[in-house]
Each structure stands twice: as structure tokens, then as C-alpha cells.
Amino acid sequence: MSETTVGARPDLAGFPTARDPRCPFDPPAEYTELRAQEGTASLSCPVGVEARVVSRYDDVRAMLSNPQLSSHAAPSTHVVAGGQLDRPVSPGSLLHMDGPDHARLRRLLTPEFTVKRIQAMRPYIQRLVDDHVDALLAQTGPVDLVSEFALPIPSLVICELLGVDYADRDRFQRQTAVLIATNSDPAALEQANLEVVGFMTQLVLGKLAAPGDDLLGRLIVRARESGQELSVEELVTLGITLLIAGHETTANMIGLSTLALLRQPDQLEALRADPGLAGTAVDEMLRYLSIVQFGVLRQATGDVTVGDETVKAGEWLVAVLSAGNRDESVFPDPDRIDLRREATAHLAFGYGIHQCLGQQLARVELQEVFARLHQRIPTLRLAVPFEEVEFKDDALVYGVKALPVTWDRAGEDAR
């Protein structure tokens, strides 16, 4: 690894993280200005380094597919004041690995996320969504859609996939919230990390002793049969990565996209009238919301070209996914939701070798939510003024902290 570029010039503008509270679904307005400038601007990041901010769609794709741009630092460490950029990469840390080590792990995991395997899970996911809609309809008074619907569905799915006891969900959800916050107390962060590692270590040791028909069990068997047996540390790190990514991102998308659609009644009515619109609707909302809100960090391992500029070895770059997804040269009228837009080329899942392995699973979960929730509860609406909804401005994954909703009991749509 090339020597890290440490520090930032005091005259540099800061990396934009603040959204306009009047437009909480839009990324910081500075990204639009950065796309309009020539070249890539260098900004000062909260972690204490200077980084080039890549905000145009084509440049983001080129950056994320360049093998000379390393992901060894945590993907969004640039926005964490006091964060560490050069700590050793743990075995099994898929998001932070490059080259052959990364390719080996990804090859072992890929069979678990094929379209065929994920489609086989669709009936299970459909039942989960319907069961949770039933549970909502059985309640009276305002209900928090996050805690009662958005969180439990992806949590159940990832528990089923990994072979985790669903009774442990509250435990790992609390730990995850601390781990992905940008302002967690260092002591709390360390404690959450210790707890989640301990939890996953116990799970992995059990799977190693008796591999079951779940993702971790099949992964253990596949690795053994291929002569690439995985260590306990690799399995623990992979398990934590999948557990966190598998429920946190989808849960936030369910809550945030529901709120965004409630604010766009014409688009919501189109979805209610045609549940088949869920396919394009999911990708459009992924593009529009881009919940990995601060982008991903990379470091140049050699001199590379980004756009028309040369980036020197050791320099840092940030690919801002939300900015690329609002690039008007690729997505006309990008600040508008259009559920009929063919937006499958969006960047919400990243791009290149680190593109999200679980993207097909996330799509199926969201498609079933989109196709069922609003048809069965057609009068769903906010139970509080919009201004009272709290957003996760201090988390790496954007969303809402709670979403109180209600509906007309006479408008219930029986299954």
C-alpha cells in the first residue's frame, strides 16, 4: 500500500454532509455544484484527510471499477471524525479487501446470491410481508412502521439465510445502530464491536461443528470441498458483514421509500393501481434515495486517471453514489420520482468488484413490500406532521428513526 496522504490544507472547503431540512430526500446541494465544475474538487474530510470528490456518474463508475483504487479503509470512514484509515484489514473483511483475496471470498459467496436461489425465497418473503401487514391491521391507533414492519422483515430474511436465531434480532440491531453511526462514543463503539464479534463467533463455532442447510453452513462445506477452508476469523467477519448489510440497508429503504411515496401521491396512486409497477419502482427509489449517503472511500495504489485528471499514488478519493444517481446527463429530471423510469443502471449498490452481492435479495424484498403494503392498506398515511419525522443524518445508511402511520379502518384491504 502506498503511503497515506494525511492531513488537509486549511483553505479547503469541507466535505458536504448536511442536507437541506426542507428537502430531506435530496443529497447535499453542493454535489450539484461539484458536478458542474471541471475536474474533481479536493475537499477536507471529517476524518482529517484531503480527498478528491467524484460526483459525476461516469467518473464514479470508472473509479469503482479501477483495480488501482484500493478499498482497504472502511468504505465511509472519511466522514467519521477521529476514524482510522490505516488499521490492518481483518481476514474475511470483504468490503476492505482487494485483489486475489477478495476474489476468492467473493467466488465462494456468489452461489448464495444467484437469481435462481433468491427467486426461490420469494414465496417465503411474500408470506413475511403479508403476515406483517396482518399484524399492522390487527392494531389500533398509530403504529411505528419502522419497528413493526421495516425492521423485522429484512431481519427475519437475513436470519433465515444465515441460520441465526431470530430471538437474537434485538441484540444485533442495537449493536448495528452503534457500529454504523458517525458519532458513536469510542467506548460504546468498542463494546458493540466486542458484542457482535462474540455473538457471531459462537454462531460460527456451532456451524463448523455441524454445518446446516443455511448460508454459513453451505459456505463452510463449499470452502472445504474446494480446498479453501475458511478460518474462524474469516467466517466471523463475513457473517457480521452479511448480517449488518442484510438487514440495515433494506430496513432503511423500506421506511424511507414509504415516506417519500407518501409525499408523492400521484406516484403512490400509480403503484396502488398497478402492483406490477413494483419492479421499476424499486430501482427508481434506490436511485432517488441512495441511502449509502456519504459515498465510498478509495485510495490510489499507483498513479491513475480519473476523468481527465491524474491522481497520484497515496491520494484519497470519494465516490459519491447519491451524486452520480442525480446526474442529469444520465437520469433526466433526476430530482423527480418517476416510478416508470428504467433506472436499473443506478449506483445505489455500488459498481465494480465491490458491487453489493445481496442486491437481488434486496430487490425481491422491496418488490414484495411495494406490491403488497399499499394495496392492502390503501389509506396508509403519516400519523404526525411531516416536520416531526426524524431522519438519520448521523448514520452511514440514511433513513428515518421512526415512522408513525395510521389508516382508515374502513379502507383495510383484506388479503
Where do the domains of the chain lie, and which CATH numbers do they carry? Answer: 30-411 (1.10.630.10)
How far is residue 378 CA from its own chain's centroid?
A: 28
**Per-residue model confidence as pLDDT tens digits over 75-88:** 788 998 878 887 78
Who wins on pLDDT, 161 or 6? 161
For the segment 279-294, the average pLDDT, to the nearest whole number, is 96
Q: Is the pTM of this model over 0.75?
A: yes
Beta-carbon contacts of residue 348 (< 8 Å; ≥ 6 apart): 286, 287, 289, 290, 291, 292, 321, 325
Taking 3-state DSSP, the helix, strand and coil percentages for the chain, each rounded to the nearest 5, stand at: 50, 10, 40
pLDDT at 5: 44
pLDDT at 253: 97
The answer to whether 314 touches 52, Cβ cutoff 8 Å, is: no
Q: Is the pLDDT of residue 157 over 80?
A: yes
Question: Rounded to whole angstroms, how far apart are CA atoms 412 and 407?
Answer: 8
**Per-residue model confidence as pLDDT tens digits over 354-406:** 999 999 999 999 999 999 999 999 999 999 999 999 999 988 899 999 999 99
Proportion of the chain above pLDDT 90, given as a percent: 72
Average pLDDT, the chain: 90
Who wins on pLDDT, 348 or 184? 348
The answer to whether 340 touches 70, Cβ cutoff 8 Å, is: no
Beta-carbon contacts of residue 246 (< 8 Å; ≥ 6 apart): 154, 157, 158, 161, 162, 358, 361
In this prediction, residue 173 has a pLDDT band, given cuts at 50, 70 and 90, of: low
Q: Is the pLDDT of residue 169 over 80?
A: no
Counting runs of H as helices and runs of E as strands, what totals does the chain give? 15, 10
